[in-house]
Amino acid sequence: MFEWLNQIDTQFFLSLNGAANPFFDRFFAFFTSKETWYPFYILLMALIVRKYKMQSIWVILFFILLIVLSDQLSGLIKDLVARLRPTHEPALDGLVHNPTKRGGKFGFVSSHAANSFALAVLTGFVSQRKRLWGVLLLWAFITSYSRIYVGVHYPFDVIAGAVLGVLIAWGVYVLLKIFDNHFQRKRIAVAGPWKTKHANMLIIALVFIVSTLLVVAKLGPRYF
């Protein structure tokens, strides 16, 4: 059973990973880098502070808890399952397109997928803005796909990571609501949905970053 699933996963990986070209090599090399998204994360924290004022410290702490749980649990599962990444699999030597670093030895589950989906879902719950939620889920999906493109994860790695991230986000949101009800007199809930203009600021920031990456990827052969 597991061998059959592994064969399907491997073939699916090879078909997706093999559809590569220099433009997307450059684009996804930047897209998949954590450092690329630091400005977006800073903006998200700033909007949380603007929205929740004194209570923002608690909201930010729950976001930190979210990422710590997502990152550490996905890392723990990697060590427990011990499934080799495609870039470390001897049977795939010479078959993997890997325009970036090879990554660590084990790959199940994808921490990138877990973290991005966790952040997207919790932000969606907190902001209560469907358009922002949809854009963030698309961002998380592309982030997850980028890990397959650069050759460091199988499709099942990122699917499992996404599921883990969603479950953690749901759990952290429940804890945030309990904390708000019992210790903050529902001050966070009373703040209500985010203003449309603040949600749009995050969407614009994502669009701007992606657009910049596309331009850089296009100009890459000329200037890099």
pLDDT in tens, 95-135: 999 999 999 999 999 999 999 999 999 999 999 999 999 99
Number of domains in the chain: 1
- 81 lies in a domain? yes
Expressed as residue numbers, the domain containing 131 is: 21-219
- 13 lies in a domain? no
Which one-letter DSSP state was computed for residue 35? G
- 182 lies in a domain? yes
- 144 lies in a domain? yes
Q: Residue 184: what pLDDT?
A: 84
Q: Residue 221: what pLDDT?
A: 63
Structure tokens at 204: 């614009």
**How far is the C-alpha of 77 from the C-alpha of 100, rounded, in Å?**
23
For 29, 39, 62, 188, 215, the CA distances from 183, given in Å and listed in that order, are 44, 32, 14, 10, 48
Return the SS3 of 94.
coil
Could you tell me if 208 and 39 are in contact, meaning their C-beta atoms sit under 8 angstroms apart? no
- 7 lies in a domain? no
- 110 lies in a domain? yes
Which one-letter DSSP state was computed for residue 84? B
Q: Residue 169: what pLDDT?
A: 98
Q: Residue 194: what pLDDT?
A: 95
Residue 45 class from Cβ within 10 Å (0-12 exposed, 13-18 middle, 19+ buried)? middle
Could you tell me if 44 and 113 are in contact, meaning their C-beta atoms sit under 8 angstroms apart? no
Spans in the chain with pLDDT lower than 70: 1, 221-224
- 197 lies in a domain? yes
Return the SS3 of 106.
strand
Q: Residue 214: what pLDDT?
A: 95
- 215 lies in a domain? yes
- Sign, CA dihedral 198-208-13-84, equals negative
